[in-house]
């Protein structure tokens, strides 16, 4: 039985925009990329933003992947989880932590470092309600500098964009790892 595909057909994976995406992806394009290629300007902007969020921030890899995976859970984005779960493992997330991320009150569980718990609380607030309460903001401020707070906020917002795109277009989980 074959998996259902996304709601739109994949665009041709040729041309300069496809090449830009391939460079960031190490030569491979995902279904997500091929959908974005229907609009080269959007694909190029997406590529630049996600490239910066994944490779140009000062946030530690474990925090970055906690955010991406938590947004995937909160937005029910199976593609995002499947693509980032192996990256999260490589970033140092333990099996128990990955299991706890799927729980409604994950940030309150005693498996996180203080900074991880603060980042998860921030991610939950910014994803669920958009507004971040003062105490939650103060929690990340206790651990992150100005640049990192900006990067964290952009990371949560950026991956909310990714998850909403994936869910709206019903993009199935990837068969191989091609993240962000």
What are the 10-residue block averages of pLDDT along the chain, 180 residues in total?
80 95 92 96 97 96 98 96 96 97 94 98 97 98 98 98 97 67
Residues 26 and 86 in one domain: no
d(CA 77, CA 75): 5
Q: Determine if the pTM surpasses 0.75.
A: yes
Does one domain contain both 113 and 25? no
Which residues span the domain enclosing 30?
A: 16-55
What local confidence, expressed as pLDDT, does residue 174 receive? 76
Is residue 123, in this structure, part of any structural domain at all? yes
Q: In the prediction, which pLDDT does 176 show?
A: 52
Same domain, 27 and 50: yes
Give the H/E segment covering residue 82.
Answer: helix 78-90
How many structural domains is the chain composed of? 2
């Amino acid at each position: 039985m074959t998996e259902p595909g996304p709601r739109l057909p994949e665009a041709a994976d040729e041309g300069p925009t496809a090449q830009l995406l391939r460079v960031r992806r190490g030569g491979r394009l995902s279904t997500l990329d091929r959908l974005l290629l229907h609009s080269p300007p959007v694909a190029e902007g997406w590529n630049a933003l996600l490239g910066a969020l994944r490779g140009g921030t000062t946030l530690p890899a474990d925090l970055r992947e906690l955010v991406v995976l938590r947004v995937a859970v909160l937005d029910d984005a199976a593609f995002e989880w499947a693509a980032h779960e192996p990256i999260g493992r490589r970033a140092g997330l333990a099996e128990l932590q990955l299991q706890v991320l799927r729980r409604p009150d994950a940030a309150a569980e005693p498996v996180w470092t203080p900074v991880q718990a603060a980042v998860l609380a921030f991610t939950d607030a910014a994803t669920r309600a958009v507004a971040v309460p003062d105490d939650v903001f103060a929690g990340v401020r206790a651990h992150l500098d100005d640049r990192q707070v900006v990067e964290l906020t952009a990371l949560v917002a950026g991956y909310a964009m990714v998850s909403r795109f994936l869910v709206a277009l019903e993009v199935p989980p990837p068969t191989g790892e091609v993240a962000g």
